[in-house]
Structure 1
Amino acid sequence: MTDAALTPTPNDCDLPRRRADFATFNEAVDYAARSEKGLNFHDMRGDLVRPYPFSEMREDALKFARQLAAYGIGKEDRVALVAETCPEFAALFCACTYVGAWPVPLPLPTGFGGKEGYIDQLSVQLQSSDPNILIYPEEIAEMAKAAADRQGCDGESWQEFAKRPDPECDLPEAQPEDICYLQYSSGSTRFPTGVAVTHEALLHNLFGHSTGVDLGENDRVVSWLPWYHDMGLVGCLLSPIANQASVDYLKTEHFARRPLAWLDLISRNKGNTLSYSPTFGYDICARRISSQSHVDERFDLSRWRTAGNGADMIRPDVMQSFVNAFAEAGFKASAFTPSYGLAEATLAVTVMPPGEGIRVELVEEERLSGRPRNLNSPARYRAIVNCGKALPGMEVEIRDEKGAAKADHQIGKVWCRGTSVMHSYFRNEEATEECLVDGWLDTGDMGYQADGYLFIVGRAKDMIIINGKNLWPQDIEWAVEQLPGFNHGDIAAFSVDTDNGEEAPAVLVHCRVSEPEERIKLRDQIADKVRGVTGMSCVVELVPPRTLPRTSSGKLSRAKAKRLYLSGEIQPLELAA
């Protein structure tokens, strides 16, 4: 039962706000601890169960740091931490940086893959990061300890570790150029490769982002994002610390069960709210409320100043559905704040200026794919979302395949440069040299610029190229989603080799139809839809719901879907003979 006497940490205090202008993250923690602000943890219904002032977090972090030192952890050692949304993780993360070690946030179990799949995933990341110890919540002790044992590293729950001795000791002084932490990107293209982020890069990005969204005195953050993903960790844990903002948390699994608790929490917030989500979070809420009425009686979203959107291709139709669903509750479309970023740049590269909302450009699909326009057929367009302007101190260039810069409105590879760019991929010199050239980062994404704004059109490695014709998987997926009964994330498109040795587009589609004859009709309907978009025949496979894999941030993983399909681990549903 929630203690009625619990009070959340305040939005305002007498300590002057500093926008992450510190030399190291440790200095940022020390300064935040002088304020009355902090982290606030809520249950599934959004009721406060634990206010955690920054001062208390720092005290716990220093105790954990002494325990880590007594355990034998020192400068540049890795400490793997299963990223539960709780005070212990926050304190342990800070403890690692105090003792000079590198915290490595790792994911919690998800519904996909089961127990053995989770042990395998943890094992691979432990093998890559080579930590001295894995510290985890007691609830997953069996799986976490099995992964640690498999990799030959120690494993303890944080309940156990908290009982260790903490003798007084001298802690090293962090330097700006020191590695602060390792971040495992949620993407499948370079998995599992730890992104090494320095203190300087982290603080530079946090300063740039807080400046980009014009973080104010009465602003407060609300989040359900997981702390093992860069948007959740950097944007919604490390940024509130370094910018002295109170924050309210729901656990990710609680959001999955009760997504509207997120909006309830925002409604109770007495400050100006900053809250972020990938597209699917807004989509879930809009769908969940669509059958209900009187949203104005339940929600008050009028103070939601920055509704951030990133981590995936932004869907303007989904955003419009959210506005339609919650305008009566005071939500303003101008609050939407698209952004673009990736773990290799710490987090944000570009962000939309406050109040400009979502702006789109309609671009011919032929232009997106680089193929000539067929004058005998009507032009098709895709709405491309404006992802904003580069953060202070960040440069963005669009380049062709030979590395030459392209002009405005010309599509090419997105490159960026700035202090926020990662130090390296941990122990992977080849991968580092592949994407870091003369201080510039090859993001692997395709896009174009216009008047200083960045537009992202897709990932270069996702592009399907058949007989010299370029196809974006998003175009195929979005076309199928227009058919009745499909949701965002129900379709994965990629290329496969057919029996005659030629390549063809393939789509895996979540199927909720049980009758074999109806499945055949659905398959043929999907094939016709894809043929209309691509001009070619495709392979259509119907698969059970919740089969398609996702990354840790909730994005569809096309590369993993293709791999699981080709290996036989994703089995299509049977059709009538």
Structure 2
Amino acid sequence: MDISFFLRHVHGDVARFDPDRPALSLEDDEPVTYRQLGERTHAYARELLDLGVGAGDRVGILMYNSVEYWIAYFAITRIGAIAVRLNFRLGVEELDYVLNDSGAIVLLGDGELLARLSRLRSVVPVRHHVAFGPEEDRPSWAQPWSHLERGDTAPLDLPLPTAEQGAMIMYTSGTTGRPKGVLWSHGTTTWWAALQVMEWRFDESSVTMVTGPLYHIGGLENYVLPTLAMGGHGVMLRSKNFDLGRTLDLVERLEVTDLLLFPVMINQLVERDADEVDLSSLRRIFTGGDALMPSVCERLEHRVPGADLIQLYGLTEGTPMATCSAPGMGYARPASVGRAYPFVEVSVRDDAGEPVAPGTVGEIWTRSPANSLGYWNKPEATAETFTDGWCHTGDLGLVTDGTLSIAGRKKDMIRSGGENISPAEIEDVLLRHPAVVDAAVVGVPDPVFVEAVCAVVVINDVPVTEEELVEHCRSHLAGFKKPRRVVFVTELPRTPSQKIQKFRLRDMIATGAIAGS
């Protein structure tokens, strides 16, 4: 099975549903139908072939959220090429690295993003640039995206890719350092959509909205791709400047049934004064990336009583969402990220790779037909991360009553004075303080304790001191777990999937870029 199935099953003599149904839309813009999505994909694919793209070649996508992003993705994968999904927030040097690492020969990008890469043209393998967006933003050396639209819209007479062929490279979001390209196949992708359909029963009535960028799995493969498999309608937000009020208005107007909200967005929602927005269409709110505090879950249930909360855990390398809350579990057991998906195995292992007893913390391993193929051009890193089909996630967790709870990243565990300290436990306590709206806890070098607990917090307009926050932690935790230092910042560095980048916090503290109060 290949990715073009998501378009093929709408057409032909035995179509599964009406091809003139809405398929994709950018917010409340006019939707593109399944018929239009297929026709435009064929046109783009023909023009990519004319640019010299063939099976196995890499084509970069450096674009803001748009329907055209999806069409480019489907066109690249239809001809057997590999879509390299690039984070538009990367700096020029970082893009230099990923373009050279992936070997992309064509780059599709929004004009204003391509304009930043002028000085890279001689040092990257890209031979053709195609600019999307307003004509005035297009660099003179890039072709206009309208060229992709001029191709024949009839289906291609071209062999379909096999399930084993590479389809997409996504660079890891960087919670531990420099990114690595994770390679997905056509089989990985179609399996992953199927697993979500099995779990959540998307259908033609589904209107699924994602709030993240399409270069991330949480914006494309998660939620929307399985919605397309069942004839539903996928909705994207415009890139940049997320606005909760605007998002909720769209939920009401489009009658959204399934909504992705990252924990920081849910925090905003429960803090928001009750308004007249009707959210009764919501069946599910998906969330993941960071822990959601029990008090927030309780307030969310009162705020949107008709919507189930689905907490999730996974990673790009080893099943994007390996576990999820069962119905009702997201509210009833907020500390848990649920049980394994259909056809997904989850195991908690010790440092020797042996399974540990229930209730014991260890490294989470995952195995499923939706695991990636490994890292692009990095066989040693692939061998370190994958064993007999199992992905070593680098995350710590424990299983109780058949459900998984996260204990932090393996490298995030703080070893202080001979004790292992979980940052998540301290973060939970900090977030209970009325002045704290966001918090991260890291270990910093200490001459006495080897590592000391350092809390980095974002506060609201409630006055609070470092001493008060330390005392607040002392009143809830063992003395050795209290922060020995508190740093106040205006925001925490996060990945596109909203995971806190703790390695950046450590670097910022070490270099004095941020300091204690």
TM-score bracket for the superposition, by shorter chain length: 0.7 to 0.9
Which residue in 1 is equivalent to 2:315?
Answer: 342
Q: Which one is further off, 32-41 or 226-235?
A: 32-41
CA distance in 1, matches of 2:167, 2:230: 17
Secondary structure of 1:235's aligned partner:
coil
1:226 deviates by 1.3
> What is residue 242 of structure 1 aligned with on the other side?
229
Residue from 57, 73, 85 that aligns with 2:37: 57
In structure 1, what is the equivalent of residue 249 of structure 2? 264
CA distance in 1, matches of 2:261, 2:120: 30
Q: Deviations over 1:437-459 (max 9, x none)?
A: 01111111222223432222222
Q: Deviations over 1:236-276 (max 9, x none)?
A: 4422233322122222425x2x21222222223347x1112
Deviations 1:302-357 (A, max 9, x none): 23112112222232222222233x24xxx336x11222221113422122233544
Gaps of 5+ in 2: 134-142
Structure 2 residue aligned with 1:321: 299
**Percent sequence identity over matched residues?**
24
Judging changes above 3 Å, is the alpha-carbon distance between structure 1 residues 83 and 211 closer, same or farther for their aligned structure 2 residues? farther
Structure 2 equivalent of residue 306 of structure 1: 284
Instruction: Provide the rounded CA distance (Å) in 2 between the counterparts of 1:405 and 1:125.
Output: 36
Distance in 2 of aligned mates of 1:242 and 1:96: 19
Q: Which moved more, 1:258-267 or 1:144-153?
A: 144-153
Displacement of 1:513 in angstroms is 8.2
Q: Give aligned pairs, total.
A: 495
Distance 1:145 1:96, change over 3 A: farther
Q: C-alpha separation between the residues in 2 aligned to 1:553 and 1:403?
A: 28
Tell me if 1:231 matches 2:218.
yes
Q: Which residue of 2 aligns with 1:214?
A: 201
One of 325, 333, 337 as aligned partner of 1:387: 337
* Contact 2:319–2:366 (Cα < 8 Å) also in 1: no
**Of residues 70, 73, 77 in structure 2, which corresponds to 1:93?**
73
Which amino acid is the alignment partner of residue 409 of structure 1?
G
- 4+ residue runs over 6 A deviation: 165-169, 511-514
Q: 2 CA distance for matches of 1:469 and 1:208?
A: 40
Report the CA distance between 1:234 and its aligned residue.
Answer: 0.9
Match of 1:175 in 2: 162
Determine which of 145, 148, 153 is the counterpart of 1:162.
Answer: 145
Instruction: Name the CA distance, whole Å, in 2 between partners of 1:434 and 1:529.
Output: 41
1:483 corresponding residue in structure 2: 433
Please, which moves more after superposition, 555-564 or 527-536?
A: 527-536
- AA at the equivalent of 1:486: V
Matched to 1:523, the amino acid is: E
2:136 alignment counterpart: none
Amino acid at match of 2:265: G
**Change in CA separation of 1:571 and 1:338 when aligned onto 2, cut-off 3 Å:** closer
Unpaired stretches in structure 1, ≥5 consecutive residues: 1-22, 110-116, 361-383
* Amino acid corresponding to residue 323 of structure 2 in structure 1: T
The change in CA–CA distance for 1:130 and 1:541 in structure 2 (over 3 A counts) is farther
Q: CA deviation at 1:120?
A: 3.1
Aligned mates of 1:541, 1:312 — CA distance in 2: 20
User: What does residue range 1-400 of structure 1 map to in structure 2 within 5 Å?
Assistant: 23-32=1-10, 35-42=19-26, 48-109=28-89, 118-146=91-119, 151-154=124-127, 155-158=129-132, 160-164=143-147, 171-189=158-176, 191-254=178-241, 256=242, 258-270=243-255, 273-287=257-271, 289-290=272-273, 293=274, 295=275, 298-324=276-302, 326-327=303-304, 331-332=305-306, 335-360=308-333, 385-400=335-350
- Aligned residue for 1:348, secondary structure, equals coil
Cα offset, 1:470, TM superposition:
0.9
Equivalent position SS for 2:436 = coil
Partners in 2 of 1:122 and 1:221 — Cα distance?
Answer: 31
2: CA distance, partners of 1:495 / 1:571? 15
Q: Is the 8 A contact 2:210 2:218 kept in 1?
A: no
Q: TM-score, normalised by structure 1?
A: 0.79
Residues 463, 100 of structure 1: alpha-carbon distance in 2 compared, 3 angstrom cutoff: same
Q: Given the alignment of the two structures, is residue 449 of structure 1 paired with residue 399 of structure 2, yes or no?
A: yes
- What is the TM-score of this pair, normalised by structure 2? 0.87
Identify which of 444, 456, 467 aligns with 1:496: 444
- Match status 1:545 vs 2:495: no
Deviation at 1:192, TM superposition (A): 0.8
Which one-letter code corresponds to 2:130 in the other structure? E
| Amino acid paired to 2:246 | A
> What residue is the counterpart of 2:456 in the other structure?
508
Separation in 2 of the partners of 1:454 and 1:571? Answer: 34
Alignment match, 1:373: none
CA distance in 1, matches of 2:368, 2:181: 19
Counterpart CA distance in 2 for 1:337 and 1:511 is 27
CA distance in 2, matches of 1:354, 1:161: 47
Preserved CA contact (<8 Å) 2:195 2:342: yes
| Aligned AA (2:368) | G
Question: Quick check: 2:204–2:231 contact (8 Å CA) kept in 1?
Answer: no
Q: Say which SS state the counterpart of residue 408 (structure 1) adopts.
A: coil
- 2:191 partner SS: helix
Q: Structure 1 542/351 Cα, relative in aligned 2: closer, same or farther at 3 Å?
A: closer
| 2-structure distance, mates of 1:41, 1:167 | 22
Greater percentage in helix: 1
Report the CA distance shift for 1:565/1:341 in structure 2 as closer, same or farther (over 3 A): same
CA RMSD of aligned residues (A): 2.7
Kindly indicate whether residue 442 of structure 2 is the aligned counterpart of residue 469 of structure 1: no
How far apart are residue 531 of structure 1 and its match? 5.1
Residues 83 and 534 of structure 1: CA distance in aligned 2, closer, same or farther (over 3 Å): farther
